[in-house]
Amino acid sequence: MQVPAHVEYEKATSVEHALSLLVRYGPEARVLAGGHSLIPMMKLRLAQPETLIDVNGLSQLSFITEANGELRIGALTRHAQLLDSPTAGRHFAILHDAERVIADPIVRNWGTVGGSLCQADPSEDLSAAFAALKASMVIRTPDGSRTVPARDFHTGPYETVVAPAELLTEIRIAIRPGGGSAYAKVARRVGDWPVGAAGVAIWLDGGTIADAGIGLTAVGAEHFAAAEAEEFLRGRPATEASFARAGQIAAEHCRPSSDQRGPADYKRHLASELTTRALRLAMRRAQRQDTPAGTAPGRPTGTAPGRPT
């Protein structure tokens, strides 16, 4: 039986209270959100916090709103809420694509968006989705707040820029005209972590790609992004040839490792193929010729056992 070490418990009643508790208990305290990552790690003694600061009562951190030309997502928003949000899906289909294939309903009902990002697992799906969308993370500090680009948020596997006395409170995504987005993932089985996944956001100006964001997860991409492929796409025609080349560039610049989920060369192949597929679907969505996720040719979203085709 796996039993966590002894731990003190405090229930925060407001964001300010949570921050004061984090200051009081110091670096050995940990925020408890959905607990789907933290509690298993405590059971395995991979994490041994002295105090848990439970933020589950902070309803002010659970929201999805549109304000000032941005989509704003509270850190305590559950995966299931994001999946159910028409506002999020209307502006950024990538979020629904990704949430549909994150874990299972039990994890999605309790796990939070903020917890996923702060866990900083190198295979986290939302890290790639928010990197593609060029989102910003709002972090509350004891003295105020600061905003960090998604691509600067993770400093390494299981590490973020959130300091021990700080709290991630919100994710913001600019809503820009001409945009379309999509997420494509391959996992070994339904509800599993990705073998590889790609998230894409493109903004069209007529038939030209004005801007592109490409996020990759589980394939060793720096900052969960494929910056070189994005650079290639900017100003190019939104064609199959551009998408295929961008996929190749994305694959060339990631550094997957072989593990129980698959060999490195297969993951590199996935980076290329899934980037191309997500670009194709994102373009269709940008052109308002949306195809429901999972039904487009080549199954661009959803989990497929083994190879993606």
> Is residue 85 involved in binding ligand FAD (CB under 6 A)?
no
> Is residue 96 involved in binding ligand FAD (CB under 6 A)?
no
> Is residue 111 involved in binding ligand FAD (CB under 6 A)?
yes
CB of 115 to ligand FAD, least distance (A): 2
* DSSP category for residue 183: E
> Is residue 118 involved in binding ligand FAD (CB under 6 A)?
yes
251 and 272 Cβ atoms separated by less than 8 Å: yes
CB closer to ligand FAD out of 75 and 202: 75
CB closer to ligand FAD out of 186 and 209: 186
CB of 220 to ligand FAD, least distance (A): 16
Interface residue with ligand FAD, options 12, 30, 268, 278 (CB under 6 A):
30
Q: How many amino acids of this chain bind ligand FAD (CB under 6 A)?
A: 28
Distance CA 118, CA 292 (A): 30
Name the token pair of 120. 């900083």
Where helices occur in the chain by DSSP H, the ranges are: 15-25, 38-43, 79-84, 86-91, 93-100, 105-110, 113-119, 125-132, 150-153, 227-233, 240-252, 264-286
DSSP letters, 144-188, are EEEEEEHHHHEEETTEES--TT-EEEEEEEE--TTEEEEEEEEES
> Is residue 74 involved in binding ligand FAD (CB under 6 A)?
no
> Is residue 219 involved in binding ligand FAD (CB under 6 A)?
no
CB closer to ligand FAD out of 194 and 300: 194
CB closer to ligand FAD out of 53 and 283: 53
Quote the distance between the C-alpha of residue 250 and its chain's center: 18
Query: For residue 283, what are the contacts with CB-CB under 8 A and spacing of at least 6?
Result: 180, 202, 204, 238, 243
Residue whose C-alpha is closest to residue 73's, from 108, 117, 25, 22: 117
User: What is the longest distance spanned by two Cα atoms in the chain?
Assistant: 60
CB closer to ligand FAD out of 233 and 274: 274
> Is residue 103 involved in binding ligand FAD (CB under 6 A)?
yes
Judged by CB under 6 A, the chain residues 123 through 182 that form the site for ligand FAD are: 124-126, 162, 167-168
> Is residue 34 involved in binding ligand FAD (CB under 6 A)?
yes
Point out which residues bind ligand FAD (CB under 6 A): 30-38, 75, 102-103, 107, 111-112, 114-116, 118-119, 124-126, 162, 167-168, 192-193
